[in-house]
Amino acid sequence: MKKTILILDGISGISLGREIDEAFRDLNVSTRYVASDKLTRKPFYKPISEIKKAMHRQMLNEEYYRNPKISNTRFSGLIEEHRADIVFVIGFLYRFFDLDFVKQLKARRGFELYLYDTDSCNLFNNKRELVFFYDHELPLYDKIYSFSKTTTSFIDKNEKLNCEYFPFGAKPIDPKKLNAPVSGKQIDILFVGSADMRRIFMLEQLAGFGLRVFGSKWARNRSVISTELNNKIHDKSIWDADLQRELLRSKIVLNITRSSFYGVETGVNLRIFETLAARRFLLTDHTPELEDLFRIGEEIESYSSSEELVDKVKFYLENEEKRNKIARKGHEAYLQSYTWNSRIKKLLAAFQ
């Protein structure tokens, strides 16, 4: 492929965008990676934003307004500097760039614009922001790729939008290449993710087990968490090598989807693929989307209630051979279909 792809990563706090960029490069595609949230903001961004929000609410009666953080000059400079034929957005544009200007520049310069929707499910609890995203940003794209089958179906109901279901992948994990060796006692159950009430409820059922929890926003919820569970929580996010080391030490990697995802029957998130890449046993809450991707009980395991969760944790901690067999089969399924290189090959076929 001779076209140059500019990757605009709206969620650069995680490694997803960088891993996708690396996969493109492994396939000899010319890319330029830019973390949108690391670009220099407009001068006096915060006070001007507050003034503009008030004006749009009171004078224009708009329910939602987002003042773009990055100047139009900077956006057009990115297109010019990197000579982009394709702009591939990860997450979103609207929190950083002026969507009207993006539309005008796209018409003038003729670059193709694609979105990898990774986060719209997080907006389901914020109707005004969700409507803004759907009404103002999604129509800009030549095509939308979504990690969620539910979201894909939802977007496809709008005949003007073109959306394709495109599950996540993961980068292969090589323990020899980690910055520090994998050491320490094995973890019975590992959960990595930020706090929400559904996750708190589920983890309380496992507080008496050998549980280890990492993620943000747990400290602010300490008052509603038992002392037993609080003692097993590390209130910090872990990614990349730190995450990989914890995965490799774990007997069971637990996935609990956020309430906003679970409520619309979606949630095949990154942790699923990262766990399989580490050749570890995955226990995740059940969603119909899982059945399209994996053989439940053979490549991964799932649960549909807190009672079933506890029962399966007990069973698989006591049955190492069965646990390891499922982990091995899951890893084989990952290698066959869900490395980022294999996922990006499919994306490139659509870009041609």
Confidence (pTM) = 0.94
pLDDT one-digit tens code per residue, 56-115: 777 666 678 889 999 999 999 999 999 999 999 999 999 999 999 999 999 999 999 999
DSSP category for residue 12? T
pLDDT score at 174: 81
Q: How, if at all, do strands 112-117 and 86-90 pair?
A: parallel
pLDDT score at 178: 72
The alpha-carbon radius of gyration of the chain (Å, integer) is: 21
Strand order through the sheet with 301-303: 233-234, 211-214, 187-192, 250-255, 281-285, 301-303
pLDDT one-digit tens code per residue, 8-58: 999 999 999 999 999 999 999 999 999 999 999 999 888 888 887 777 777
Domain at 4-166: CATH architecture: 3-Layer(aba) Sandwich (3.40)
- Is residue 308 very low, low, confident or very high in pLDDT (cuts 50, 70, 90)? very high
User: To the nearest 10°, the Cα dihedral for 20, 120, 142, 85?
Assistant: -30
Residue 338 tokens read as 């869900």
DSSP category for residue 231? T
Quick one: average pLDDT of 197-222?
Answer: 97
Q: Diameter of the chain by CA atoms?
A: 66
- For every residue of 25-73, DSSP letters joined together read HHTT-EEEEEEGGGSPPPTTHHHHHHHHHHHHHHTS--S-----SS-HH
> What is the location of CATH 3.40.50.2000 in the chain?
175-337
Residue 34 bridge partners (DSSP): 8
How far apart (Å, rounded) are the C-alpha atoms in residues 281 and 293?
16
**Which residue has 């979504």 as its token pair?**
146
pLDDT one-digit tens code per residue, 47-56: 888 887 777 7
Above 90 in pLDDT, residue 322?
A: yes
pLDDT one-digit tens code per residue, 125-160: 888 899 999 999 999 999 999 999 999 999 988 888
Above 70 in pLDDT, residue 191?
A: yes
Residue 116 bridge partners (DSSP): 90, 145
- The b-or-e profile of 189-204 (16+ CB within 10 A means b, else e) is bbbbbebbebbbebbe
Quick one: average pLDDT of 317-341?
Answer: 98
Q: CA distances (Å), 118 to each of 89, 240, 254, 267, 321, in order?
A: 10, 18, 20, 11, 35
Question: Any residues with CB less than 8 A from the CB of 294 and at least 6 apart, and which?
Answer: 300, 330, 333
Quick one: average pLDDT of 192-202?
Answer: 97
Report the first-to-last Cα separation within the chain, whole angstroms: 7
CATH topology of domain 175-337: Rossmann fold (3.40.50)
